[in-house]
Amino acid sequence: MQLKKIKIADLVARNNVFLAPLAGYTNCVFRALCHELGAGLTFTEMVSAKGLCYNSRNTRELLMLDGYADGIKAVQLFGGDPYYMRKAAESEDIAPFELIDINMGCPMPKIFNNGEGSALLKDIPLAQKIVTECKKSGKAVSVKFRTGVDEKRIITRDFAVAMRDAGADMITIHGRTRDKIYSGEVDYDQIALAKSAVDIPVIANGGVFCLEDAEKLMLKTGADGVAVARAALTDPFIFARLTGREVGDKKIYIRRQIEDTFRLFDERFAVVYMRKMLAFYSKGMPGAAGYKLRLFACRTRGEIEQILEEMPF
């Protein structure tokens, strides 16, 4: 894959292989892991603008930072009200972040039915107003969106142009419509159409599980980079392969992930989170089903670490 730096307003990402936001998983420890393995840019889990404005403790926990001295600090906000989006963007909670990514692609019913996420694809003026208000924070702003709500309402190019015109410094396009959720073929042509229509960086997202997938996505869309999502959960080492990095003993990285997760989060969360992560990592291994059964029975850090030592990475 052809690597290059990506300029986002006055920020520069060290390469064009990004970790997409993943609700429930891209906490600061996992982001730091992916960054170390080669990801040029990582994002927080999506954070509710209203949750921040109403002082939600759970929302604030998503903004924890650790180990990002040499990487762009990027937060993903979601919301359907320009007032709350600007208020959140200008808040002390967001102050440490240099880039605000606006979620206009989440397909989940709870988000969509509340007029947020991919529901904004139905209202371009509102989507533009949200970008304009977030830009008033003085921070760089990007937008992540889908090709449309469904096959009858494909608006990729028009939406890309509208986001650029509203002031977005970068866009990421998930090459599926909202109704497809995460299944179906990626629409390379729509991403390519958007790329040809704007002069800001365009990142392509969807269906990247190996180097060949990333190269195909870049070739067919002309995008400036790729964003890896679900593949990172089962194999964060994909970033090393995409960026040509040597890894060595994979267990060293996972041991550190366990250590940092237990250092930064309470034990109950850390146990549940790390047993899920190791279950993801076991995908495709001999005896994967057995590892998963044992992992979900774990109650302590020691039990998780014991299973890690047995896993054939």
Distance CA 200, CA 210 (A): 26
Are the C-beta atoms of 161 and 125 separated by less than 8 Å? no
Largest Cα span, the chain? 55
pLDDT in the model for residue 67: 64
Are the C-beta atoms of 178 and 146 separated by less than 8 Å? yes
pLDDT in the model for residue 60: 81
Distance CA 29, CA 66 (A): 7
- Could you give the 3-state DSSP secondary structure of residue 92? coil
From first to last of its 313 residues, the chain has per-residue pLDDT tens of 899 999 999 999 999 999 999 999 999 999 999 999 999 999 999 999 999 998 877 888 899 987 655 689 999 999 999 999 999 999 999 999 999 999 999 999 999 999 999 999 999 999 999 999 999 999 999 999 999 999 888 999 999 999 999 999 999 999 999 988 888 899 999 999 999 999 999 999 999 999 999 999 999 999 999 999 999 999 999 999 999 999 999 999 999 999 999 999 999 999 999 999 999 999 999 999 999 999 999 999 999 999 999 999 9
Catalytic residues: 106
pTM of model > 0.85: yes
Distance CA 153, CA 156 (A): 9
With CA atoms as reference, report the closest residue to 100 among 66, 64, 57, 130. 130
pLDDT in the model for residue 1: 87
Beta pairing, strands 74-78 & 99-104 = parallel
